[in-house]
């Protein structure tokens, strides 16, 4: 499926909106968890330092400076990893003792708390501590190396970022898969709809048996199509029945008129009127024959004789048949193209082609009619083009209907069944009947499906 087409589907856009809402919700949740976790760990660090300072302060109050120094030394001896940091200094920050070599360049953070950097640039870490004064103008800095806290903070941040990215990728993948699944089901319905519109009224929407909304939609469409099919079939049967039932009495009527027309001693004026009646009867019989032939083709009752047909040769035969008629009307008729062979009912295809040529000669005006045979990316085609006024957009949709005649063709004799027969023949061969204005003129094409190349 085309990726650009998938991105334009409503299901993918809905999935994208959901993905955006999910991303915002997840971001808010992860930010809350992150700040809660880091805040808790920071408060625990501050609590540890506060507890240490409180213990040192109690020792100082009970035993003085010597007891305080002894406790600090004891704490440093029991902490080889230098988790806790201590530094005695004068009021001018001159070091007197502790496990820090010098008074750090601290950055105050409020309420006596300071942050500072330990070590060199290559192995630097951050410490956090608090300063309190000791009698004798001394200062004691109690701090804690928070490198582990920072590593945990960095780890959590990376985990949240990668987790968020992975969640978005999975959401995007889920949106694509969901959109592709829904689009496939919709495309199945669309494809079936196109087949029905092309004349295959027996086709029905496929069901999966899941009874979901798509199955319910397909069931309703199928019920509607059944009703439409019954109505169309009813109308078709009426028309076909009328054509079938009237053909026999009309044939008898024509025979009687013909016998009257050749009777001896008949008034010449009466004979001319009888001949005119015979011509009208012949036109009606041709119309009924066309109706019955269309009915047989559309209902599948016609026994097709499928053979290999060279479309260029077929077009040449049609041109040869109508050449004299075209010359009498002052219209040039020529055939061009490349040989194309396909499996078809030659007689029906020839009948459809001469219907197209007859229409082009009738309605195309003076000029030239061109038959073209060839192949392109869409498949094989056989087209007839005239140099007439063309056909209005609204008429191109209805012109294949039975008995339809455009306003411009009302003055020309005809039954309005020519293109109906061509449409039926096209449907029988799985082809499409295409009408397009060629500026000037009208091009009517039979476009056959592209056959796969032999392996």
pLDDT score for 250: 77
Q: Which domain holds residue 276?
A: 213-299
* Cα 359 versus chain centre, distance: 39
Last residue of a domain, one of 270, 299, 328: 299
Identify the DSSP state of 374: E
- Total domains present in the chain: 3
Question: Percent of the chain having pLDDT more than 90?
Answer: 2
pLDDT score for 401: 67
Residues 140 and 219 in one domain: no
Residue 17 included in any domain? yes
Taking the C-alpha atoms of residue 224 and residue 217, their distance in angstroms, rounded to an integer, is: 11
Q: For residue 398, what are the contacts with CB-CB under 8 A and spacing of at least 6?
A: 404
pLDDT exceeds 60 at position 453: no
pLDDT score for 281: 80
Residue 285 included in any domain? yes
pLDDT score for 38: 80
Residue 7 sits at the vertex; the CA angle it makes with 5 and 10, to the nearest 5 degrees, is 95
pLDDT exceeds 70 at position 199: no
Write the pLDDT tens digit of every residue in 409-447.
Answer: 555 666 667 777 788 888 877 888 888 888 888 888 888
pLDDT exceeds 80 at position 180: no
Residue 246 included in any domain? yes
pLDDT exceeds 50 at position 32: yes
Q: Which residue has the tokens 């009408």?
A: 435
Question: Percent of the chain having pLDDT more than 70?
Answer: 83
Which CA distances in Å does 251 have to 75, 170, 247, 257? 126, 75, 6, 10
Last residue of a domain, one of 152, 176, 194: 152
Find the helix or strand (DSSP H, E) in which 344 lies.
strand 341-345
Taking the C-alpha atoms of residue 134 and residue 69, their distance in angstroms, rounded to an integer, is: 11
Return the higher-pLDDT residue of 26 and 296: 26
Residue 38 included in any domain? yes
CB 28 within 8 A of CB 34: no
Residues 327 and 405 in one domain: yes
pLDDT score for 64: 80
In this structure, what CATH number is given to the domain that contains residue 130? 3.30.450
In terms of residues, how long is the chain?
455
Which CA distances in Å does 312 have to 351, 383, 425? 15, 11, 18
Taking the C-alpha atoms of residue 56 and residue 68, their distance in angstroms, rounded to an integer, is: 6
In this structure, what CATH number is given to the domain that contains residue 437? 3.30.565.10
Residues 273 and 371 in one domain: no
What sign results for the dihedral spanned by CA atoms 77, 78, 83, 86? negative
pTM of the model: 0.47
State the average pLDDT over residues 359-386.
85
State the average pLDDT over residues 329-337.
88
Taking the C-alpha atoms of residue 291 and residue 351, their distance in angstroms, rounded to an integer, is: 14
pLDDT score for 134: 75
CB 336 within 8 A of CB 370: yes
pLDDT score for 454: 43
Residues 256 and 397 in one domain: no
Write the pLDDT tens digit of every residue in 106-124.
Answer: 767 666 788 888 776 556 7
pLDDT exceeds 80 at position 150: no
Taking the C-alpha atoms of residue 356 and residue 384, their distance in angstroms, rounded to an integer, is: 7
Residues 11 and 145 in one domain: yes
Residue 198 included in any domain? no
Last residue of a domain, one of 152, 169, 190: 152
Reported as a pLDDT band with limits 50, 70 and 90, residue 297 is low
Residues 288 and 376 in one domain: no
Write the pLDDT tens digit of every residue in 234-287.
Answer: 766 666 666 666 777 878 888 888 888 888 877 888 888 888 888 878 777 766
Residue 252 included in any domain? yes
Residue 171 included in any domain? no
Residues 223 and 338 in one domain: no
Average pLDDT over the chain, rounded to an integer:
79
pLDDT score for 63: 78
CB 419 within 8 A of CB 359: yes
Residues 413 and 435 in one domain: yes
Write the pLDDT tens digit of every residue in 51-87.
Answer: 888 888 888 788 787 787 888 888 888 878 778 888 8
Reported as a pLDDT band with limits 50, 70 and 90, residue 372 is very high
Return the higher-pLDDT residue of 192 and 5: 192
Taking the C-alpha atoms of residue 295 and residue 238, their distance in angstroms, rounded to an integer, is: 11
Residues 278 and 326 in one domain: no
Both tokens of residue 274? 């009888």
In this structure, what CATH number is given to the domain that contains residue 284? 1.10.287
Residues 230 and 291 in one domain: yes
Residue 203 included in any domain? no
Residues 443 and 332 in one domain: yes
pLDDT score for 455: 37
Helices 346-363 and 311-328, interaxial angle, to 10°?
30
Q: Which of 334, 324, 410, 417 is nearest to 368 (CA)?
A: 334
Both tokens of residue 83? 């988790």
Residues 341 and 250 in one domain: no
């Amino acid at each position: 499926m085309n990726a650009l087409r998938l991105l334009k589907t409503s299901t993918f856009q809905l999935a994208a909106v959901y993905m955006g809402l999910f991303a915002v919700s997840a971001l808010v949740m992860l930010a809350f968890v992150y700040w809660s976790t880091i805040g808790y760990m920071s408060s625990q660090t501050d609590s540890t330092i506060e507890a240490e300072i409180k213990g040192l302060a109690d020792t100082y109050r009970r035993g003085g400076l010597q007891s305080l120094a002894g406790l600090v030394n004891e704490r440093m001896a029991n902490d080889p990893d230098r988790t806790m940091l201590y530094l005695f200094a004068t009021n001018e920050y001159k070091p007197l003792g502790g496990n820090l070599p010098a008074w750090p360049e601290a950055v105050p953070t409020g309420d006596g708390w300071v942050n500072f950097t330990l070590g060199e640039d290559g192995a630097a870490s951050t410490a956090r501590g608090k300063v309190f004064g000791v009698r004798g103008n001394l200062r004691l800095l109690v701090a804690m190396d928070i490198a582990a806290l920072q590593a945990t903070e960095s780890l959590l941040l990376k985990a949240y970022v990668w987790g968020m990215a992975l969640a978005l990728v999975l959401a995007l993948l889920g949106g694509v898969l969901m959109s592709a699944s829904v689009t496939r089901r919709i495309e199945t319905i669309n494809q079936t709809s196109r087949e029905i519109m092309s004349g295959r009224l027996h086709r029905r929407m496929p069901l999966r048996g899941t009874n979901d909304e798509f199955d319910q939609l397909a069931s309703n469409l199928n019920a509607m199509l059944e009703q439409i099919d019954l109505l169309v079939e009813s109308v078709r049967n009426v028309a076909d029945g009328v054509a079938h039932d009237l053909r026999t009495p009309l044939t008898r009527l024509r025979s009687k008129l013909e016998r009257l027309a050749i009777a001896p001693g008949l008034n010449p004026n009466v004979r001319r009127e009888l001949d005119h009646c015979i011509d009208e009867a012949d036109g009606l019989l041709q119309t009924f024959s066309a109706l019955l032939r269309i009915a047989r083709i559309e209902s599948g009752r016609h026994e097709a004789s499928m053979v290999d047909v060279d479309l260029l040769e077929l077009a040449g035969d049609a041109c040869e048949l109508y050449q004299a008629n075209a010359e009498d009307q002052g219209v040039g008729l020529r055939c061009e193209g490349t040989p194309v062979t396909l499996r078809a009912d030659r007689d029906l295809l020839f009948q459809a082609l001469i219907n197209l040529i007859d229409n082009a000669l009738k309605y195309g005006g003076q000029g030239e009619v061109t038959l073209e045979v060839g192949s392109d990316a869409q498949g094989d085609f056989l087209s007839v083009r005239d140099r007439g006024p063309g056909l209005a957009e609204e008429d191109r949709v209805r012109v294949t209907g039975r008995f339809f005649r455009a306003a411009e063709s009302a003055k020309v004799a005809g039954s309005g069944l020519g293109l109906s027969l061509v449409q039926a023949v096209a449907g029988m061969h799985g082809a499409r009947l295409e009408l397009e204005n060629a500026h000037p003129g009208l091009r009517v094409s039979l476009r056959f499906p592209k056959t796969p190349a032999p392996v």
